Structure 1
Amino acid sequence: MASTASHVSFLPPVLTFCAAAVVAVPVFRLLGLSAVLGYLAAGVAIGPSGLSLVEDPQTIATVAELGVVLLLFIIGLELKLSHLWEMKRDIFGLGFAQLAVTTLCLGGAAYLVGFTPKASFVTGAAVALSATAIALQMLGERNDLQTPYGQRSFAILLFQDLSVVPLLAVLPLLASGAAAEHGSLMDRLLAVGEALVGIGAVVLIGRYGLNPFFRILARSGAREVMTASALLVVLGAALLMQEVGLSMAMGAFLAGLLLAESNFRHQLEADIEPFRGMLLGLFFMSVGMSIDLALVREQWLLLTIATPVVIVGKSLLIALLSRLFGASWRDGLRSGALLCTAGEFAFVLLPVATGLGLMSTAEAQPVTALAAITMLLGPLLSTLVERMLAKRGESEEQPDESGLLGQEGELESRVLVIGFGRFGQIVNQVLLAQGIEATVIDKDVERIRDAGRFGLQVYYGDGTRLDVLRAAGAEKAEMICICIDDHDAILKIIEIIHENFQNARSFVRAFDRIHAIELMNRDVDYQIREVFESAIVFGRAALEELGTEPEAAAAAANDVRKRDIARLVLQKEVGSMGGAELVVGSKITPEPLTVPTSRARALSPETRDILGEGVL
């Protein structure tokens, strides 16, 4: 049996990370700086160069890389292949130009300070790559991912991630200088074949297998199983890509992209989000821990000169290239400041190049320190640029003329409908009649399947969960329509809306009169009893069938409607002043809205007993 010490041995580092994050991140946020900078500073403080509270940062970094994997999966979920195709010019045009020009400039600078040609190329390529995790985290904090500059920045990052595989393939060729050897060529072809097979497997499984898989799991009703399945999909795709020589992050991104049109998209995003945030924070702290302050002191002059050269140089190059590809100077500067850091893959390329003999340890160590320092200072520059542009009174972002936002993002930001049963279906039909395509959340698999036949986009998810509502776009919604028939769940959702989404108007389906009064007491913007209007219409049709003139029947229906509303408001006021009849669970007795002209008559002995008339 394991000792007690072995059970608790993992607690000190866990507590150390939690304490460092809890202290550093709020402080930096209070200063108006990014949480990323707080995580990086916390990592420096607890790492080997600081208080040495964590002895093996490399082990932590290996686990923390999963944060980048989960981040790319969520980014993939938020895109669609059609949107990605619209971005092809920025991905393969602007992305390629940025990587090529930046590698050339930074590699040339490394050559001028005494690096060998091969080491200069590796240095230029490693530092030209930007920090995907940092940039996307900051875009998320600013809610700018869907803006034109956010989309162009993401296009550059996506091309950089795609280029990592070719770069890793080129390094052995540079080391051997024998690109034409038969065996080497065969190995390369085999590696390419394995990569293509791996990509094909992910595409086929994602396209044809995942939706039926999630549909079966959803029927079980076990929320924890859905969370486990989400992690299984993400980590499985990442591992498969790694086994065939590709990036784990790109495997996760591909899985997310294939699930972007899935009905389970919002639920998957909500399930993954807590893990992503935790592991991504851990990743940033591991980067901070990798900064060797002793080496910084030894190479202080070189790093003091190189750090601003890299940060400012990359910013200006990206701004200039963005301008050449149609961006405004404002957007170009924002993209440049956002992507001025070196990237996570620098810590991959540099050790590989050192192991192959392309650069010496003396050359690789300062470049590694430089990459980490830029990741520490880059977010600060980006924040300063944002403040500078804001102070100059620049106009807010204009609508995206290039169509990168996509129609879905615009439509989803208007109306969110929770529930796609018999009530929610009709609500959606009315909205669609005016071209308003709402985002719909439901946790019934059959309803989702039915909606798919009507061409509606309905996503699997539990509308009583805050994370699901956030993932579905509740923060941007103008209106949230609650169309489910669960009394308690409706009240819970209303509380969540009032606490977290105060800009959204709440339109709610009420079960009965008592429920309607409860909703009015919770200050919903609009409520309607699910059978009230249909009963009014039913009664009006009955009057007309019995010979009443249509105008008179309509007037009678309207009169009942007005009287009912007035009485409902009065009952709400009485309840708000006293409330005893609601607190103790008493029911509001239905009463006629028109004074009866005669006494009720019982037509059977059983009825007379119920009415208390006795036996005649």
Structure 2
Amino acid sequence: MPSGCALTLIIASAPAGGDSRLFVDLLSILATAAVIATIFRRLRLESIPGYLVAGALVGPHALRLVTDLTTVEQISQLAIILLMFTIGLMLDASAVKRGMLSMLGVGVLSTGLVTLLAWPVVMAFGASAPRGLLVAMALSMSSTAVLLRVLQRRREVRQIHGQLCVGVSIVQDLISVVALASLPLLAAWDGAPMDEGAILSRDMHPALVWLMRLAAVAFVIVLGRIALPRLLAVVARTDRGQGGSELALVTSAALAVGAALVLGSLGFSPEMGAFLAGFMLSLTPFRHQLAGQLAPMKDLLMAVFFTAIGMRLDAAVLLNHWPAVIAGMVLLVAGKSIVIALTAWAMGASGRVAVLSGVYLANAGEFSLVIVSSAAIAGFLPDEQVGMTIAMVVCSLVVSPLLVGPAHGLAEWATRIKPAPWIAGGAMRHGGNLSSVEGDGEEAGLDGAESHGEPKMPLRDHRVIIAGYGPVGRSLADRLGKRGIPVTVIEMNPKTVERQATLGRSILYGDVTNPEVLESAGIRTADALVITVPDEMAVMRACQVARSLAPEIFIATRTTYLSQAIKARQLGADSVVVEEIVTAESMTALVTGLLEARRK
């Protein structure tokens, strides 16, 4: 299991000796995180603040269940590297590409403006200019996890403000890489020693050092774009030949750690290297399969990482500075709401879309904590500033979902606001889609029902998903295609995927039992799923997973024996073609036809 693999990696990352103490620390971290996060979710709050509170409770400033922060920080560093890799892997840059200028413009402008406005405010709280800039960049990021949960709960993912918010959050994720890369420069500006990289000479001119760094990063990116698809294709073929799927996962983890090591040796943050490795893999056909395999690992790593961050919180310090924390949170939420709303309006959004986008993106987020944690581990930010920043992030994550209801009332009033006169029109004003709904189902997969006020989907967007492109799947796809029925194929043979993709077939690499793959194929909006793979164990798992994701979809599959067909029906299949029955019917038809012909 991926989560078990993650736990093994976490334990292996700790120093030798004191294993019993390590297990006790891990037990304290995970058990407390589970309990507190469960309480938060029962209160309809997000789990990330719960993890941070759990860390504060078990840490050295409260219950002191965990006192050796050295080991915890080493575990946290590995967790953040793998976490950043999974975030990069799950990043859907194509969503920004489809939305193009509207999403990019709002994302870049609003993030830049929030950073510039927050910078002097953070300095007023006692931070130096470089430290203030880093904290301002961190606070300009919004929480993708909270955003998606709110949009899903309200069924607004496919409405205009939902698409805009998701696109802006993706742009912010990319900008966060720039913030991580700027850490050495900000440290040098602040007078702190800057790591020049183990393979670069400290006697070289700084401009030459940075030129070599950027050239090396460009080389790594180009090499990755060329080599990674071929490497994973070889691994996938080997995996498929052995009937497994773990080699690609292990190879990906090695790439994440390797990229972190390479960029770390160049003076960049290891987290940036892991993120870039994941992002490059997200551009390959193997993205959906890997993302599904890594999803449980990501959840475990988030719990460990954010709980470890929470251990830095000192309740005594926060109690002494609680007015500053509350004031900072209010300024953050109010300031980001206004800036993002004005930016969206200036880029052509209607008043309603602008207001909702501003409120939905008003909080700080996961990348805020990643940036602050990286700076703290590097010794760039003092514990007091780290604690206050984390406290503001936690407060914003708790408060922002509570503002969604009032925001809709304000949004109705904002419909009176005239559009920006310098924008002639556009999807953000008239309510059209910022991005077309393609066969990947990325946006559609996030929302299982039609949104209020949303136009009905045209017939061509209702499609059939075929799992397996063997003789049965290929014949079925061809016959449906001749009838004008759109088909999306899921296939585990990388050569078949590559060949059919070049021919224009809507096809993606992955295992039909993988929820992420089914989501990416658009199972929530498809009319039917036809499972043609001959592996009956996979058929049973696929029926169960597909039914849990899309309760209304029609599922048809095949089995060899009647007993397996009964089981498939129990697990969610609507119709099952039993090979032994079909064979008997076919043979009966042949024999009776022959006998009737002879009788004539």
Query: TM-score of the superposition, structure 2-length normalised?
Result: 0.74
Q: Helix, strand or coil: the match of 2:308?
A: helix
The aligned residue for residue 23 of structure 2 is 11
1:280 to partner: Cα distance:
1.0
Select which of 504, 516, 522 maps to 2:553.
Answer: 504
- Confirm or deny: 8 A CA contact 1:417 1:483 kept in the other structure: yes
Whole-Å Cα distance in 2 between the matches of residues 251 and 53 of structure 1? 33
Partner of 2:468: 419
Write the mapping of 1:246-285 to structure 2, written as runs, cut at 5 A. Answer: 246-260=268-282, 262-285=284-307
Given the superposition, is the C-alpha separation of residues 47 and 71 from structure 1 closer, same or farther in structure 2, using an over 3 Å criterion? same
**Alignment check: 8 A CA contact 1:439 1:457 kept:** yes
User: Are 1:379 and 2:397 counterparts?
Assistant: yes
Unaligned runs of 5+ in 2: 1-15, 193-202, 416-427, 446-462
From 291, 294, 300, give the equivalent of 2:316: 294
2:421 aligns to what? none
The equivalent residue for 2:188 is 172
Structure with higher Rg: it is 1
CA drift of 1:290 comes to 1.4
Question: Which piece of structure 1 moves more, 521-530 or 368-377?
Answer: 521-530
- Secondary structure of the residue aligned to 2:143 is helix
1:499 Cα deviation after fit: 5.0
Report the alpha carbon displacement of residue 236 of structure 1 after superposing the two structures with TM: 2.5
Cα distance change on mapping 1:283 and 1:525 into 2, 3 Å: same
Counterpart contact for 2:355–2:411, Cα < 8 Å: no
Structure 1 residue 135, shift from structure 2 partner: 1.4
- 1:313 shift after superposition: 2.3
Q: Among residues 145, 153, 159, which one is paired with 1:137 in the alignment?
A: 145
Is 1:107 the counterpart of 2:133? The answer is: no
Instruction: Give distance in 2, aligned partners of 1:432 and 1:261.
Output: 27
Q: Encode CA deviations 1:265-307: one digit per residue, 9 max, x unaligned.
A: 3321122112111011111112221112222234344434333
The AA in structure 2 aligned to 1:129 is A
Deviations 1:109-162 (A, max 9, x none): 3455666xxx13531442332486x71322454445973211112212322322
User: What's the secondary structure of 2:65's corresponding residue?
Assistant: coil
Q: Give the Cα–Cα distance (whole angstroms) in 2 for the partners of residues 228 and 114 of structure 1.
A: 45
Which amino acid is the alignment partner of residue 321 of structure 1? Answer: T
Q: Counterparts of 2:478 and 2:443 in 1: how far apart (Å)?
A: 15
Q: Secondary structure at the match of 1:369?
A: helix
AA at the equivalent of 1:381: V
* 1:65-464 matches, cutoff 5 A: 65-78=77-90, 82-86=94-98, 89=101, 93-112=105-124, 119-130=128-139, 135-142=143-150, 143=152, 144=157, 147-166=163-182, 168-169=184-185, 171-173=187-189, 175=191, 183-260=205-282, 262-327=284-349, 328-339=353-364, 342-349=368-375, 364-389=382-407, 401-403=433-435, 408-409=440-441, 413=445, 415-433=464-482, 436-444=485-493, 447-448=496-497, 451-452=500-501, 454-464=503-513
1:473 offset after TM fit, Å? Answer: 5.2
Q: Which deviates the most, 498-507 or 376-385?
A: 498-507
1:349/1:495 CA distance change after superposition, 3 Å: closer
Structure 1 counterpart SS, 2:489: strand
Shift of 1:8: 2.5
The 3-state SS of whatever aligns with 1:337 is coil
Where does residue 588 of structure 1 map in the other structure? none
Show the counterpart of 2:75.
Answer: 63
**Identity within the alignment, %:** 22
Q: Which amino acid aligns with 2:145?
A: Q
Match of 2:576 in 1: 527
Contact 1:67 1:277 in 2 (8 A): no
Q: Distance in 2 between matches of 1:508 and 1:399?
A: 39
Return the TM-score normalized by structure 1.
0.72
Cα offset for 1:534?
12
- CA positional deviation for 1:11: 1.3
Q: 1:490 aligns with which of 535, 539, 563?
A: 539
Using the TM superposition, give the Cα deviation of residue 51 of structure 1 relative to its aligned residue in structure 2, in angstroms: 0.9
Looking at structure 2, the residues matched to 480 and 337 of structure 1 have their Cα atoms a distance apart, in angstroms, of: 39
Separation in structure 1 between the aligned mates of residue 515 and residue 242 of structure 2, nearest angstrom: 21
The equivalent of 1:573 in structure 2 is none
- Relative distance call for 1:508 and 1:62 in structure 2 (3 A) is same
Cα distance change on mapping 1:288 and 1:387 into 2, 3 Å: farther
Aligned-residue RMSD, C-alpha: 4.3
Residue 602 (structure 1) aligns with: none
Q: Which runs of 5+ in 1 are unaligned?
A: 356-360, 549-596, 598-616
Q: Distance in 2 between matches of 1:542 and 1:322?
A: 72
Distance 1:207-1:83 versus aligned 2 partners, 3 A rule: farther
Q: Does the C-alpha gap of structure 1 residues 393 and 427 become closer, same or farther in structure 2, counting only changes over 3 Å?
A: farther
Question: How many residues are treated as equivalent by the alignment?
Answer: 529
Alpha carbons of 1:429 and 1:500: their partners in 2 closer, same or farther (altered >3 Å)? same
CA distance in 2 between partners of 1:433 and 1:250 (Å)? 47
What amino acid does structure 2 have at the position aligned with 1:169?
A: L
SS of the residue corresponding to residue 440 of structure 1 reads strand
* Letter of the structure 2 residue corresponding to residue 332 of structure 1: S
1:8 maps to amino acid: S
